[in-house]
Structure 1
Amino acid sequence: MTVADAVRGHWADRFIPPGLRPYARLSRLERPIGWWLLLWPCWWSAALAAGASGARWPDPWHLVLFMIGAIAMRGAGCTYNDIVDRDIDDKVARTRSRPIPSGQVSVTQAKLFMALQALVGFLVLIQFNGFAILLGIASLGVVAIYPFMKRITDWPQFVLGLAFSWGALMGWAAVFGRLDGAAFALYAGAILWTIGYDTIYAHQDKEDDAIVGVRSTARLFGRATRPLLALFFLAAVIALGLACRLAGAGMAAYGGLALFAAHLAWQVVRIDIDDPDLCLMLFRANRDAGWLFFLGLVADAALGRL
């Protein structure tokens, strides 16, 4: 069986044995944008901390660990979300063909698969220092409540931001074994960015969401999405700039941030909330926006903060 919102012709469908494909879809393996967006705050934080510590490069081992952890925990999160949302997914055209509502995977099987992915994430987490381990465990509370937020608040994107941006704290903690103002400012900027890009994403489903009672900032903002999106993206850039300042960053970091800001401005100009395909394209484009800021931070560390 196919899934309506799966990426067509992806290697996961071409090379993974048919019996395992529903699990690949549970973890959204064919849609890497999710783990990229989870990874960026981790890598930003690692690069910002590298510069602040006087290192020329972010710790390569940390970058690898964060990538493995992002892929595993994004998969576990998506599986958990599908378990919690199985009744809602069955009522939405785009999601009713997902593995659980379509019967390809039972709830028990999904729970076991979620536990396996979470175990991988835990094995990654214990490679860091004790403070970072405790900090990573603390994130689970936010992750656990997120799927329920769309039922009780118009701001589930804010709660997603709290969860998806946790890496902004982790990268710094992995280097220094503590949290400082720069890490908190980075976290705030990543949350604001997440609210923006996930609002764009949520506009794909706003009609179905209205029918089944799912709430979102896309429905809340409505026709005011463009100016509010600009406001959130501007606030994100300001917060990220503050993080750079508090970390003593140099011109290369601000150059990367300027390119990141230009990319977000392009999204605001291009958005058409009544064009689901365009909304999806703009949402996915945030992977490239993340690269721009990250490369600026890496260059800043490499250049010795000139």
Structure 2
Amino acid sequence: MDTTDPAPSRLSLWLDLIRWNRPAGWLLLLWPTLSALWLAAGGFPGLHLVLVFTLGTILMRSAGCCINDVADREFDRHVKRTARRPVTSGAVSVGEALKLGAALALLAFLLVLSTNTPTILFSLAALAITIAYPYAKRWVSMPQAVLGVAFGFGIPMAWSAVTGTVPVEAWLLCLGNLCWVLAYDTEYAMVDRDDDLKIGIRTSAITLGRFDVPAVMAFYLLFVALWALVGARAGLGLPYALGLAAALVQVGWHFRLIRDRSRDGCFRAFRENHWIGFSVFAGLVVDLLLR
């Protein structure tokens, strides 16, 4: 009797390609974007915009996974954690992955078309950076900064969708979000540091060297400080401050996870980062509700 496992369906391979079973990735994009929506609107921004940005975030993160796996397929073969990804293993062809990514990005763009011209223009810039990011690892010492720019585009897009403008508060949120991405994606890079050194990929974990853990903590603190500044400028009060305090408590826990630089600890810290974003968002929503 044949006891071999059946070949996975195309749908299951596509879902694996876009990391459907790992929602932490798109949650890291979603919480800052929703925070910008709520802050720009001074409360609930309306069901239409919530759906556009929630679905758009999921679709664009999925499209980014397709692009990333195509760009990194040769590197991923030499990394334990990524060697079995569908494109790397040959289960999904390069052409198939690119077509899927293009279809997902098109769906996201169709959603953005229901907003306004500034938001549409921001979405085109976001797409360009999303495509460029996977190749930054070959030339940029800290490609996590490029990812931070890509992941932050939801903030000015959200603000422009609500008000048609992008004030200084939105850019301060972007800068803070960039610091947050540098923190958690450096944790992620610390997981693969040994493999990345062998194959010649550039990452912040390699560039920072023995200062990686202090740098991650500094990035977290800058993130909280900048978002606290925006809260002060917006007149937010105790609930928002409690959300930021909850984020700081988690930062302390992350230090315990990454201080010995173990793969498991660093990977867990990365995977749990979306709770930091949720804490800040929850504090913001409650604060605006109580106004």
Tell me, yes or no, if the aligned pair for 1:158 and 1:195 is still in contact at 8 Å: yes
RMSD: 1.5
* Displacement after TM superposition at 1:245 (Å): 2.4
SS of aligned partner of 1:141: helix
* Equivalence for 1:160: 147
* Equivalence for 1:230: 217
- What residue identity is the alignment partner of 1:161? G
- What residue identity is the alignment partner of 1:170? M
Alignment partner of 1:250 is 2:232: no
Instruction: Give percent identity, aligned residues only.
Output: 39
> Structure 2 stretches of 5 or more lacking a match?
1-7
* Displacement after TM superposition at 1:225 (Å): 1.9
Alignment partner of 1:40 is 2:31: yes
Aligned mate of 2:201, from 207, 211, 214: 214
> C-alpha distance in 2, partners of 1:163/1:62?
20
* Equivalence for 2:3: none
Aligned mate of 2:68, from 81, 85, 99: 81
Higher relative contact order (CA 8 A, sep 6+): 1
- Cα distance 1:133–1:273, how it changes in 2: closer, same or farther (>3 A)? farther
Alignment partner of 1:24 is 2:11: no
* Displacement after TM superposition at 1:104 (Å): 0.6
* Equivalence for 1:14: none
SS of aligned partner of 2:138: helix
SS of aligned partner of 1:31: coil
What does 1:294-305 correspond to in 2, within 5 Å?
294-304=281-291
Paired positions, count: 284
What TM-score, normalized to structure 2?
0.93
Tell me, yes or no, if the aligned pair for 1:79 and 1:114 is still in contact at 8 Å: yes
Tell me, yes or no, if the aligned pair for 2:173 and 2:226 is still in contact at 8 Å: yes
Aligned mate of 1:64, from 51, 59, 82: 51
> Structure 1 stretches of 5 or more lacking a match?
1-16
- What residue identity is the alignment partner of 2:289? A
What does 1:1-306 correspond to in 2, within 5 Å?
18-51=9-42, 56-304=43-291
SS of aligned partner of 2:88: coil
Moved more, 265-274 or 231-240: 265-274
- Cα distance 1:250–1:225, how it changes in 2: closer, same or farther (>3 A)? same
- What residue identity is the alignment partner of 1:126? L
Tell me, yes or no, if the aligned pair for 2:257 and 2:266 is still in contact at 8 Å: no
* Displacement after TM superposition at 1:232 (Å): 0.9
- What residue identity is the alignment partner of 1:199? T
> C-alpha distance in 2, partners of 1:270/1:95?
22
> C-alpha distance in 2, partners of 1:242/1:134?
28
